[in-house]
Structure 1
């Protein structure tokens, strides 16, 4: 495979083609202070209430859609027991783990099977997905190659779904989603080197090794509001033969002007991939604190957002068969002309 960006435009989405949402994740890393403000919810009781409401709302719209507990980071059996005690596991179908043993975690990469086994012992009747795994090139690009090859060897035949983080390096001008910034030392700067493709659009050596597993190992890629990288991401993923993608729909973004157009465009562009969509990020005006990591003042409002997104992009199968996803503006125009 020649791993250079294909200069020719990709064919437009065929009429009726749509993204296939196979699962919905309820928040991202709720046991990580970078993504959930533990000062506001030290015992996770508010997150539990939020997740239960969201799980119920998703199932009410589409009971066939797989519900995934927010991927835990760190991998923590005690936190999972807390979720079970609070009743959360009755409203999700999958438990998810995130791991970065060569960048942030305090365990060696070869401990992946042991880490999976720790969680399996807690929930022997539930599938475990590795929804965010990765190794950055901050130290050396050879380290990323080693990490990708080792992760693939240890996990692809161990758990049903694995998602590599990420396709693109995070642009330095954007800043990383973390609450403690430079206080992390070099750990903060590692956020900008987790991609397989550099900020300037050139592939790293590890991309060639990822391509060998692209049909089995999904990608995890966040897209910011009106992200200019979306089209390039789609082109790269199609060239690589990627089947599965994890991304997010931001509750906070749903209050921006033009959010419907952006969400529709993103979902339309991702047609042909099997999607795990993460619902997260609190709008500042709805949080206990004016920050996207804050718990909501009213957790039901987050559940209502999840329900709206499922209704819009992942209706139950009979609806999917009868009416493929068409952006709202297109549906309204067709109705007006009928």
Structure 2
């Protein structure tokens, strides 16, 4: 069920990786190389994806490549939210993809794309349809962010929260389904392209929405899902039981599984954005997860 493993999330976004502790991304590149190697050793058939960059920045990608950070990845991922956070129009999607194609021969996936509904739910309807027009057939994988609105009481998993300014509130309106469980108008439009445009949905530790998400995705005809396992959560009580339940519930989908979030006690900055003091510990977590949830299949030659 796990077709791909994504190494980190938005590493060139300071909400997810602290550039003050790794100003040239050399530590990040070393971590990615170790993690990619561990994933390959656990199962060479799992596609390894570099954490989706946001903003889309070819110079950043070249810097990571210069540190050897692309040696153990198969796919480059990008994220874009042109109607909410980015400073380019939605119609520029083909140009943004071309910018990355110009500096790498690796395939490109769009692993987060979305349009919020805060200003008007009709804007999200337009966003779903225009995104589908621009991206389906242009890249091999697309993941719409997200299925559910983020509950206001939870808070977004981002470093600066309200200090990000007035755009922080948009985190809570990116779903196709409202916090109260009712569908937005855009859900019907997404359903028409669900087989070609997957969903990206984070599941928090012991997330009560897991079973509802599975039911909705099956009803919609979604085939591809991107989600994550938090390295930080792996230190919570009964973490493996939760991971097992999550992966079992998602067994009917082709999953891109994201590994990210540094445990506070293992990072220089005591924060989930911090580079780990020992990057091999993150690599070991990635290898453990793939070995547990996507073990390699031993192929035995059969002779007549």
Distance 2:57 2:165 in 1: 24
The whole-number CA distance in structure 1 between the counterparts of 2:213 and 2:158 is: 24
Could you tell me which residue of structure 1 aligns to residue 70 of structure 2? 89
1:111 alignment partner in structure 2: 92
Instruction: Tell me the residue number matched to 1:22.
Output: 3
SS at the partner of 2:71? helix
SS of the equivalent of 1:63 reads coil
TM-score, scaled to structure 2 = 0.97
User: What are the residue-to-residue correspondences of 1:33-182 with 2, within 5 Å?
Assistant: 33-123=14-104, 125-182=105-162
Aligned to 2:169, which of 186, 189, 198?
Answer: 189
In structure 1, the gaps of 5 or more residues are: 1-19, 320-338
Secondary structure of the corresponding residue to residue 232 of structure 1: helix
User: Segments of 4+ in structure 1 off by > 3 A?
Assistant: none
Deviations 1:19-51 (A, max 9, x none): x00000000000000001111111101101100
Displacement after TM superposition at 1:184 (Å): 2.7
How does the TM-score come out when normalised to structure 1?
0.87
1:198 aligns with 2:178: yes
- Residue of structure 1 equivalent to 2:282: 302
Secondary structure of the corresponding residue to residue 171 of structure 1: coil
Aligned length: 299
| Separation (CA, whole Å) in 2 of partners of 1:107 and 1:220 | 22
Name which one, 1 or 2, has greater alpha-carbon Rg: 1
Aligned to 1:226: 206
Q: CA RMSD in A?
A: 0.9
Tell me, in whole angstroms, the C-alpha distance in 1 between the residues paired with 2:29 and 2:117.
35
For residues 215 and 317 of structure 1, what CA distance do their matches in structure 2 show? 27
- Unmatched segments (≥5 aa) in structure 2: 300-304
1:75-102 deviations in whole A, cap 9, x for unaligned?
Answer: 0000010111111111100000000000
Q: Distance in 2 between matches of 1:264 and 1:30?
A: 27
The equivalent of 2:302 in structure 1 is: none
